[in-house]
Amino acid sequence: MTAAKHMGVEKFSTADLTGLREELRHNHLDSWQAADVISQYLSTRGYGVSAPAARSSASRLESSGYAVELMQEEFEQLAMVM
């Protein structure tokens, strides 16, 4: 068992994150809009996220060019089990 699975950390699929990344990059969203998309992505997977945390994360992700590895790290920290 990997350390991540042992600790109960969610691993979002690379394919899902890549699709989300493309949506965020190509729709030229501002941080508020990107935060809404991120929140929706997480909620469809059974997680909640606070709006301020999602906006902060969206800003960090935008400045990184929405790197998939960073998205994984951010979402692991953002996702709250509902």
Place 14 in a pLDDT band, splitting at 50, 70 and 90. very high
Least confident residue range of 7-11, 12-16, 39-43, 55-59: 7-11
Summarize pLDDT for 21-72 with one digit per residue, the tens: 999 999 989 999 999 999 999 999 999 899 999 999 999 999 999 999 999 9
Beta partners for residue 48, in sequence order: 80
Distance in angstroms (rounded) separating the CA atoms of residues 15 and 20: 9
Distance in angstroms (rounded) separating the CA atoms of residues 32 and 25: 14
Q: What is the pTM of this model?
A: 0.82
pLDDT the model gives residue 3:
42
The residue assigned the tokens 């996702």 is: 79
pLDDT the model gives residue 9:
54
Q: Tell whether the torsion through CA atoms of 50, 33, 61 and 10 is positive or negative.
A: positive
